[in-house]
Amino acid sequence: MSLRTKGETGDALGTWVKLPDPESVEIMAHAGFDFVVIDLEHTAMDLRAVSTHVAMARSLAVDPLVRVPDHGHSAIQRVLDAGAAGVVVPHVDTVAQAEAAVRSTRFPPWGTRGSGGTSRAGRWGTLPRDEYLDFGNNGALCVVQLESRQGIENTAGILAVDGIDSVFVGAADLSMEMGVPASDAQVQDLITHALEAASDAGRSIGTAAGTSEQGLAALARGFDYVVVSNDTSILANGARQIVNAVYPDQAG
């Protein structure tokens, strides 16, 4: 799977992983998801759990991306050395922030990432150094989230940054910032702007969806990949369906 070039491999389907137990990734892989996004922004997960998730995903041929908690260099470097296929950087609003995100994912002279070839990304020191460096500079994905009016308006400039592989539209935070529902015309016009900018740049663009129906609608609208639901919601909804079926009078 590649999220780099628009239309390169067709639509791709992922889901968020928010629980620390590796069974979450295992279940999602067996369910048939193309990739998972391990979430460090909105969970209490630690790097040890991320490392285990990445190993599980790799073993099952599912691409593991990690949404880092912020723009911090250290978190980006550590999850990449844990073997992540790439990072999703939240709340990128400007070209300067996009450039900084790229620098954190790349080795010198293109970035500031330190060499950690004895990590999983370097196959514990057994991967030739040039292969380790090549993946870091050319293979690891740098995806940035656009979740503000400013970020969306800067889509074209952000996608023009060398090393930005894809943008990810966060409609929930965008609508919250604007003080209107996600269905509001103002929000939808901005999303259309981002889609058109990505199309013009020939780069991929993704978004999140709560349900499969919403995911299908996003793909039909022109998004190249979609992250649908998450392990906790899938578990909670499945549990609720069972309870409601047995106790229909208590359905909530």
Catalytically active residues are 42
Q: With beta carbons less than 8 A apart as the criterion, state whether 18 and 39 touch.
A: yes
Compute the distance between CA of residue 24 and CA of residue 26 in angstroms, rounded to an integer: 5
Compute the distance between CA of residue 202 and CA of residue 104 in angstroms, rounded to an integer: 24
Q: How many CB atoms are located within 10 Å of the residue 149 CB? A: 16
Compute the distance between CA of residue 194 and CA of residue 182 in angstroms, rounded to an integer: 15
Please name the residue ranges forming H helices in the chain. Answer: 23-31, 47-59, 73-81, 95-105, 129-134, 149-153, 155-159, 171-178, 185-201, 212-221, 231-246
Compute the distance between CA of residue 141 and CA of residue 128 in angstroms, rounded to an integer: 20
Q: With beta carbons less than 8 A apart as the criterion, state whether 18 and 42 touch.
A: yes
- CA atoms within 13 Å, Cβ hemisphere of 11: 15
Q: What is the 3-state secondary structure (H, E, C) of 134-145?
A: HHHHHHCEEEEE
Compute the distance between CA of residue 63 and CA of residue 49 in angstroms, rounded to an integer: 16
Tokens of 216: 């299908």
